[in-house]
Structure 1
Amino acid sequence: MTASHEQQPIRTRKPSWLRRRLPSDPAYQQVRRLLKQGLLHTVCQEARCPNQFECFSQRTATFLILGDRCTRRCRFCAVEHGPTGPPDPSEPQRVADAAARLGLRYVVITSVTRDDLPDGGADAFVRTIGAVKERLPQARVEVLIPDFQGSCRALHRVLDAGPDVLNHNVETVPRLYETVRPGARYERSLELLDRSRRHAPRLPTKSGLMLGLGETEGEIERTLQDLLEVGCSMLTLGQYLQPSRRHLPVDRFVTPDEFDHWKHKALQMGFKEVASGPLVRSSYHAQELYSACCQDAE
């Protein structure tokens, strides 16, 4: 990778396996209107997820709480950085209402990173989990959480709220953290997953990596082993795509065959379920991954 990542050109000539036809299903516009009316954000929109059209057309979305601005400047992420306000006390109920109107049986909740809040936003997760479970008692809830700057108390509060899956992405291999995730620490993310296992041993944990940032095969394997050692049972692997010229360039496009290789490798290593493919993202087909991993809980 180059020494400077400012104003890097976007690789617009994507390989054929990354090109998708946009669906024309009317459900897509219906979901957009519902979210707009509810004054809600989704990671699908704010992070420019390539699966947004597919997921909205299937009447699913990943709710993004605590606003649409992040306090960190990760160099892979399209979510905007900037001034943030206090948490909206009505947001948890609006998320629950939208989930009910969508008829969701599996609700995924994530957030921007809010290092400006004393609890890192843990209270908002607690209240949103509670609102969804009250409105949709039969629904499963997966939370994709930030690292809360290593706060054990914040993590325990979220775990005690009773989510069905605790997801926290390591995103990349340790060597690339300073470049890809300034402000985050690989060891802190591993510690969060380990603390989750020790505090709520029956709660499945999940993590994910982006490939195509310059990692080596050996580094990927060592990272997967680290995740297994802290009790991670579900894994997602996807292709990094450069959101804008302000972000890191793609080092390489990983082939579908290589993603298949890593899926089989991860399963052999001990992960219970793995979603691996160029367009896989943290919450892509999350319900299916959970069901395959935790059939006894269904």
Structure 2
Amino acid sequence: MVVKPDWLRVKAPQWERVGSVKDILRDLELNTVCEEASCPNIGECFHHGTATFLIMGPACTRACPYCDIDFEKKPQVLDPTEPDRLAEAVRRMGLNHVVITSVNRDDLPDGGASQFVRCIEQIREISAGTTIEVLIPDLCGNWQALETILRAEPDVLNHNTETVPRLYKRTRPQGDYLRSLDLLKRARQLAPWVYTKSGIMVGLSETDAEVRAVMRDLREVDCDILTIGQYLQPTAKHLGVDSFVHPDQFAAWESAGQELGFLQIVASPLTRSSYHAEQVKALMEQYPRPRPPAIGG
């Protein structure tokens, strides 16, 4: 058994604020990845009034052994009221930046792209000043579905590569490393004004050289933002932790990422893909990108 080090201790949240956010989520019958995936930062994020909304769930069509989202339940029919309820939560919480992610919905022809679009459109209608980040699955390589999402004009297109290629078979058996890179490359080509983002987890036996190789691959497809965080085993039935990576190593990766040209890289033991995602607003002000009139035909 690998003992969790001191640097992974999380401060106790102020439950009054956490409870306020939870009340909104329960009232509107919404899911968050913060809760469904047992995120260690749930207290801090809820305390600051932020949340990453999980749409089309909570049941997933894939069974990644590191993830705490349920894959044993049968996926539900898409709820047409979900986009309205999500937009109302954004309004009630007063969010300046919102992250929308989803379970994998390989049972749907478009992988759920149409639901992402409806959520983006409703948020734009009810809270025009809120910047929107979508953290999407690989859509089984359906690039028409990707274009559909990009036409809705999210501010950030996030897709996690999750780990190094050598570990895909063990950690992400239904995923494909090259497909994930291709998704990010196509997103840049289809919508060059969108800020592209990806994330990886460490502590699963990857080497420093392998992590740096992934970082180079991401820059080759012009990925703007990268997050690197420590994998934590959700339950005893999930994939075990091979090692707890020292903060100094995260600092070294962050420095390497800056040298490679990422516009933003966040690397620390508790970093998660959506952790402090609202900081992207500052990045957008520093590196503005004009939007074209429309995408595609």
Q: TM-score, normalised by structure 2?
A: 0.95
Aligned to 1:278: 269
Are 1:261 and 2:249 an aligned pair? Answer: no
* Structural mapping, 1:156-235, within 5 Å: 156-235=147-226
Equivalent position of 1:246 in the other structure: 237
Per-residue CA deviations over 1:219-259 (Å, capped at 9, x if unaligned) read: 11111111001110100000000011121110100011111
Q: 1:51 aligned to 2:41?
A: yes
2-side partners of 1:115 and 1:20: how far apart?
35
Q: What do residues 98-144 of structure 1 show as CA deviations (whole Å, max 9, x unaligned)? A: 01000001011000000011110000000000001111001100000
Kept in 1, the 8 Å contact 2:188–2:222? The answer is yes
Deviation (angstroms), 1:168: 0.2
1:150 & 1:139 partners in 2: Cα distance?
29
Cα distance in 1 between the residues matched to 2:285 and 2:166? 33
1:19 paired to 2:9: yes
Given residue 47 of structure 1, which amino acid in structure 2 is its aligned partner?
Answer: A
Cα 1:254–1:155, aligned 2, differ >3 Å: closer, same or farther? same
Describe how 1:76-95 pairs up with structure 2 within 5 A: 76-81=66-71, 82-95=73-86
State percent identity of aligned pairs: 50
Q: For residue 20 of structure 1, what is the amino acid of its counterpart?
A: V
Instruction: Tell me the residue number matched to 2:294.
Output: none
- Give the CA deviation at 1:202: 1.5
The answer to whether the 8 Å contact 1:35/1:98 transfers is yes
Residues 130 and 158 from structure 1, CA distance in 2 versus in 1: closer, same or farther, beyond 3 angstroms?
same
Q: Does residue 37 of structure 1 match 2:27?
A: yes
Q: How big is the shift at 1:25?
A: 4.4
Asked if the contact 2:10–2:41 (Cα under 8 Å) also holds between the matched residues in 1, the reply is: no
Letter in 2 for 1:69: A
Instruction: State the AA in 1 paired with 2:116.
Output: F
> Which residue type is aligned with residue 35 of structure 1?
L
Contact 1:47-1:79 within 8 A present in 2 as well: yes
- In 1, the alpha carbon distance for the partners of 2:42 and 2:181 equals 29
Paired letter, 2:142 = S
Within 5 A, what are the aligned runs for 1:62-81?
A: 62-81=52-71
Structure 1 gaps of 5+ residues are 1-8
- What is the CA-CA distance between 1:295 and the residue it aligns to? 2.3
Letter in 2 for 1:131: Q
Q: Distance in 2 between matches of 1:43 and 1:109?
A: 9
The residue number in structure 2 matching 1:4 is none
Counterparts of 2:143 and 2:229 in 1: how far apart (Å)?
29
Deviation at 1:20, TM superposition (A): 1.6
Range that drifts further, 17-26 or 73-82:
17-26
RMSD: 1.2
Q: Matches of 1:118 and 1:40 in 2, distance apart?
A: 24
Name the CA distance, whole Å, in 2 between partners of 1:193 and 1:146.
11
Whole-angstrom CA distance in 2 between matches of 1:80 and 1:285: 25
Gaps of 5+ in 2: 290-297
Instruction: Give the distance between the partners of 2:136 and 2:285, measured in 1 at CA.
Output: 20
2:139 corresponding residue in structure 1:
148
The amino acid that maps onto 1:38 is: L
| TM value normalised by structure 1 | 0.94
